[in-house]
Chain A
Amino acid sequence: MNITGDISRREMLEWSTWGLTGAALTSLAQAGPRPPASHFPARAKRVVHVVLMGGLSHIDSFDYKPELEKFHGKPLQYKERPATFFNQIGLIRKNDWPFRQHGQSGLWVADLFPHLATCADELAVVRSMVSTSANHTPATFEELTGFQLNGFPTMGSWVSYGLGAETDNLPTYVVLPDARGYPAGGTINWSNGFLPSAHQGVAFGNGDQIIPDLNPAQPIPANTESASRRLLNALNLNDQDRFGTEDALAARMKSHELAARMQLTIPEVADMDRESAVTRESYGLNKNETKDFGRNCLMTRRLLEKGVRFVQLISGGSFGSPRINWDGHEDMRRNHNREAARIDQPVAALIKDLKARGMLEDTLILFTSEFGRTPFTQAGGSKLGTGRDHNMYGFSLWMAGGGAKGGTAYGSTDEIGWKAADKPVHWHDFHATVLHLLGMDHERLTFYHNGIQRRLTNVHGNVIKDIIS
């Protein structure tokens, strides 16, 4: 390789990478938010991702299957034996919650979500989702990263990497875990994978330290704290005088200033008392079943207002018994009633609040679950059970806000909701669509890692144009 002679375009790129180091660091040193790196005009600037852990039953929520009534109590009429996690194929069971049409669009929503139903005209439902795993964690990783294995960056990390921060006072990618505990796999669910650690999700907790190390682990007098910062800066400047200017070192000096700003902003954002009683009630902070998720939804709005790029709101903890997520193997009614009651009002309140503030049009809300549930019950032999098993062949999700075509339903499953029939959509397509709405081409948002220009969408993905307004 010769830097002065005739060099290939790719080598040029490589060299320019190095050449740009200085300029890049100067931009951090100036601390201004970096302009979003868009490929085309963005419809949304920020994302809220509501992740339902365990598997939401699509046929009991957003995918109305009147035929189920007819097949109720009858065996499945497929030639092949369905592949399910527990391999117990019971009789078909009709939806446990009645469906009604809502809004001007007449979108079908089940009574499981009475509050969300009032937002029907905002929802763009995809009813033909498919996945390639019916095992919770690999399926969840696929939902979040596009891959079933550990070690890949989550969507929030990709968005943080692609668009950078809108603010320097808060992390770019914030995670609000379920108050009942972390999901299975813990922090793997917001890992930066092989992306730089700056793109890892930062989980907000409820304790004194809203994020780790926000404040000194032991109390330090305020005057000592400010004198320490001044001294640190003076020592660093002296070092610079002696050894010369170095971009990386200058950037670090700037990072201390940004850290001090974060210390002020984060407690402010987490302080719900700054909201009116009416607002708090609208999110359900006054009721036992909704107060946890309501707080997280209200926090989400406050974070978005301050410039956070991506908020991952998690509904559900890890697996096992008794259940604290959407994994309704035993008794769908009990399980989904309990889980839906926690989130229905808060999520609806978030949509309405964002709308009222004019933020919904450039905030993309995603509401997804790793897979759906089977139309037949999970029961031995030919029995009509009360629970449903995992279903990766057909399930639903929805988007709302920034660029999503509200009041629509895209694709369909077969007559009983077992398999996607019309226009199947894989996670890769969903991810491609999300990036598209954020102004990024999923084939061009790449990061080199061990031999591959890695993408959120692997080598797949088609933007679903029909759900874009």
Chain B
Amino acid sequence: MRIFWSNILFAIAFAAPGFAAKKGGADWWSLQQVKRPELPPVKNAKWVRNPIDAFVLSRLEANGLLPAPEASRRTLIRRLSYDLTGLPPSPEEVQAFLTDKALNAYEKVVDRLLDSPHYGERWARHWLDVVHFGESHGFEYNQPRNNSWPYRNWVIRALNADIPYNRFVKMQIAGDMIEPGSADGIIALGCLVTGPHNTTRPSNDTMRKTMRQDEVEDLVGMVGQTFLGLTINCARCHDHKFDPISQKDYYAMAAALSGVNPGDRDLRGLANGADVAALQKLRAQESHWLKEITSIEDPVRNKLLKSAQKSGRKGPTPPRPDAAWNFTAGLTDTIGNLPVLLKGSAKQNVEGLILDGRGFATTKPLPFDIAEKTLEVWVKLKNLNQRGGGAITLQDNQGVVFDSIVFGEREPKRWMAGSNGFTRTKSFTGSEETKAANQPVHVAIVYRADGSITGYRDGKPYGKTYKTGFQKFSASTAHLAFGIRHGTGAGNNRMLNGFITGARFYARALSAKEIAASAGVGTITISERELATALTPTQREARAQHARQLVTVRSEIQAITAKAPQAARVYSVVSRNPEATQILDRGSVLKPIGAVMPAGIDAIKSVKSDFGLSNKASDGQRRKKLAEWITDPANPLFGRVMANRIWHYHFGAGLVNTPNDFGFSGTRPSHPDLLDHLANFFEEKKWSMKTLHRYIVTSATYRQDSRSNPEGMATDAGNRLIWRVSPRRLAAEELRDAMLAVSGQLNTQLGGAGYRDVREYKFKGSHFYDIIEQNKAEQFRRTIYRFSPRGARRNLLDTFDCPDSSALAPDRAATTTPLQSLALMNNRFVLSQSVFFAKRLSEDAGEDIRAQLTLAHELALNRPADPKELALAEAFIADHGLDAYCRVLFNTNAFLYVR
């Protein structure tokens, strides 16, 4: 077990000068191929249950230590249950184990726990620590990631299904390539976008590029440390100081990952597993029938179109606005009675309404109520670097509450729906503006009563519709303004610089078709009746037949996609083919010194680092090659690193006690041969994680008692040689889950979107998350399902070392502080669970205090109360009641520690 004081002392035991003079070369131990060590000879061969024990025992014997005796069955089942599922065993489970006479009684418990769906929940938590999974962007705005949870659930499912570790890894790096068309292939990629992401992008190019490089470093760091135990990220500005990783290696790895961009991906219409192939087949049939139909229709339709054009038929009629201005002609409203008044330096001439950043224009208050609405404008910009000016705005007469078409405010060069305090503002994720400085572009925003907001540019949808709140304006309290984001006087970054040639306002939400018509990009349509009449009878018959086929195919598609109910979206990789990656001198974006190809790390000699890709390769190709390189069985780090992680979580300390760093700065393995033995075993068992767990926990090493002894303490107080199993404190999530399990309130629902114990609100553009406490079954799910935005830290979890999800946490501290004591004594959750616990006791054990106490101790401590405890408890309960007793029990060392 690691205790934080040791960390402190380690760092405060200041290293002597010259300590860092050495570094590792290509001959560094962890980069060499995995050996096949012989089993070492041991004296006490009877103790050995499996080869693990021989490796451990030989080192103990060499140091004159004896292994601890086997722990009691009560201790073992409690240890196994927490270790494999993160939950305590029930009294019935304990009883069954105690009375099981079978020789394989222990193995039966192990198998039961590994088969439990709670196994995946427990071990997914470890994995999410390693990949720094957090559910908001961090930084200034800290927007929530409402669609990250499918990734969390995928990890749980994958672990429960025991998918081979190499596939588990490949899916997270290149799922879209190795399972094309599957939902899971996209969901698993969520691994690559777990880190913080700054959405506040400055106008300045250098600043933006540097930010992107920072993100790439975070990603390279995560991938290198998680899958390889290498701190490749340390080589961004110079060659690695301690490991044989060059700056070129860093940028080669960056090149492999630089097409990764975060964003929501649509999962609708996707399947999983065997259905993927079936679905692909059906989709092919679907397009076949569609093609058959169009091959009949198109020639006829084209003929009809031509004659329609010849006869002068017009496109669709534009919708009628409630007010419209042609500013190249004047300031009057061509529909209603809303003339525009110029303010400040604004002018009007044949070019339109001219805005120089100091002027704007307004109408008088609108005489009608406005609920749904559409703002539409034709605008040419003075330059594309300007930030935050509004083109057309509907605002209250004070200029405070508003909806506006704004350019470049939050994201440079992009249009957005501006609003007071960004309350109705999100990114459309539309493309950057390139044209508006040269000619007017058409921009429209549609506001619907359900809170959905849709942008259009040049008549076509601009990015994606999103949903927020909805703002109504009453008659005579609001007016329209042009050239200003909001307000009643000119001010700096709210002002637009450019020309507005025309604008329209509709007190209703226009459809996409209507917008297209208004923008003049709608086309002449040929009606179904016209078409049907023009077809020959044979054509009509064939077409009808194809249409029937199409309906059948589509219903089959529907049946498959409806079968796997899943999230509509996932926060995952939005793949963009990157430009050639440059090595940056000292990491500076201003000093590129030559391009690199995507590749692996040169110093791992047993696998070819060259991916055989040019720097024109697609993002997917790059990641696929990277995944293959990482998971290559000849890559010595691949198996070693994961075998060590699994060992680390079972024993509280790794064989290499720096699970993310197998380099020079990390620790050397305490049992190098055992590590290689485990890596071999892992590969032989086809990378089955459950098989490796079973192998470890059935060893005699794992079954040792946790009691200390003077010999062990004198020789090896830190228990690196494993002369006992170190007692460990429950982790934060385990602690909360265990209280729920003991009180009988645990909601064991698997999967789904998780629970939220925060009230999210937006204040001045930033998102904040206040903790709320509710005694609801929905909140009583396992902690892994907690929606976990960055900065929304919960005192009970936080004080018990739940890590900051912005930092990669391969290893948790287990501290002891007075703030933990305060949290565990006083937190509302603990108090309410104590009441539930007491209620459960009186319901399940009746009125008899003895019976209640027996059950209480069986539930919380997995052992009966001893006579001393009974005496103390009975005296206390008589004066202070059962609730108070349960609260104390939750605070005892016996509850808080697993021996």
The residues of A with any CB-CB pair to B shorter than 8 Å are 1, 3-4, 9-11, 13-22, 24-25, 27-28, 37, 39, 83-88, 132-138, 148-152, 161-162, 168, 171, 181-182, 184-188, 191-194, 196-198, 200, 202, 211-218, 220-221, 223-224, 227-228, 231-232, 234-236, 238-240, 242-249, 251-253, 255-256, 258-259, 261-263, 317-321, 324, 329-331, 377-381, 383, 385-387, 444-453
Contact = CB atoms under 8 A, between A and B. Distances in A.
5 contacts: A228-B825, A228-B880, A248-B729, A256-B825, A380-B497
Nearest to A245: B708
Closest 8 CB pairs of A and B: A18-B718, A320-B764, A451-B231, A151-B806, A380-B357, A87-B203, A24-B5, A217-B828
B707 A13 contact: no
A246 B727 contact: yes
B807 A255 contact: no
B808 interface: yes
Given A4-B63, A18-B718, A379-B357, A217 B831 contact: yes
B491 interface: yes
Interface stretch (B315-323, B429-437, B797-805): B797-805
A197 B798 contact: yes
B161 interface: no
Interface string B227-255: 00011001000000011000000000000
Contact of A197 (B15, B813, B869): B813
Interface stretch (B368-376, B532-540, B550-558, B667-675): B667-675
Interface string B847-886: 0000000000000000000101100110010011000110
Interface string B660-690: 1101011111101000000000000000000
B88 to A, nearest CB: 17
B872 A450 contact: no
A165 to B, nearest CB: 10
Contact of B707 (A223, A224, A243): A243
Nearest to B215: A149
Contact of A319 (B140, B721, B880, B885): B140
B contacts with A: majority SS: loop
Contacts of A151: 132, 196, 804, 806-807
Contacts of A17: 6, 9-10, 13, 718
Nearest to A87: B203
B781 interface: no
B204 A134 contact: yes
Interface string B430-446: 00000000000000000
B718 A150 contact: no
B828 A19 contact: no
B668 A11 contact: yes
Contacts, number: 391
A321 to B, nearest CB: 7
A16 B8 CA distance: 12
B884 A329 contact: no
A318 B765 contact: yes
Contacts of B807: 151-152, 193-194, 449
Contacts of A255: 816-818, 820-821
B148 interface: no
Contact of A330 (B211, B491, B891): B491
B141 A15 contact: no
A227 B492 CA distance: 64
A220 B827 CA distance: 12
A188 B138 contact: yes
A161 B356 CA distance: 55
A15 B10 CA distance: 10
Contacts of A37: 12
Contacts of B493: 86, 88, 329-330, 378
Contact of B668 (A1, A132, A150): A1
B4 A196 contact: yes
Given A244-B708, A248-B729, A256 B204 contact: no
A148 B720 contact: no
A184 B142 contact: yes
Given A17-B6, A196-B4, A452 B231 contact: yes
Given A188-B790, A244-B708, A251-B816, A83 B207 contact: yes
Contacts of A214: 822, 826
Contacts of B866: 238, 242
Given A20-B6, A216-B831, A135 B202 contact: yes
B869 A238 contact: yes
B872 A215 contact: no
Contacts of A18: 6, 716-720
B509 interface: no
A452 B234 contact: yes
A243 B792 CA distance: 38
A258 B825 CA distance: 13
Contacts of B814: 248
A198 B4 contact: yes
A378 B385 CA distance: 13
A332 to B, nearest CB: 11
B818 A228 contact: no
Contacts of A15: 718, 720
Contacts of A196: 4, 7-8, 801, 813, 815
Interface residues of B, number: 145
Contacts of B530: none
Given A84-B204, A248-B1, A319-B764, A193 B827 contact: no
B621 interface: no
B823 A212 contact: yes
B139 A138 contact: yes
Given A1-B668, A214-B826, A224-B880, A235 B869 contact: yes
A33 B765 CA distance: 43
Contact of A20 (B9, B11, B385, B663): B9
A216 B826 contact: yes
Given A196-B8, A238-B866, A330-B491, A85 B204 contact: yes
A236 B387 contact: no
Nearest to B224: A451
B658 interface: yes
B231 A450 contact: yes
Contact of B819 (A162, A171, A380): A171
A188 B793 CA distance: 9
B893 A239 contact: yes
Nearest to A249: B893
B363 interface: no
Contacts of A11: 668
Nearest to A29: B816
A217 B827 contact: yes
A262 B892 contact: no
Interface string B116-160: 000000000000000010000011111000000000000000000
A235 B888 contact: yes
Given A235-B872, A324-B764, A451 B893 contact: no
B879 A227 contact: yes
Contact of A198 (B200, B387, B815, B899): B815
Given A17-B718, A380-B356, A28 B798 contact: no
B826 A217 contact: yes
A228 B884 contact: yes
A329 to B, nearest CB: 6
Contacts of A445: 11
Identify which of A88, A263, A451 gathers the most chain B CB atoms within 10 Å of its CB: A451
B827 A21 contact: no
Contacts of A329: 492-493
Given A22-B713, A149-B806, A227-B880, A168 B818 contact: yes
A320 B729 contact: no
A261 B207 CA distance: 49
Given A4-B63, A242-B866, A194 B809 contact: yes
B204 A448 contact: no
A261 B717 CA distance: 32
Given A133-B207, A262-B822, A319-B764, A149 B6 contact: no
B772 interface: no
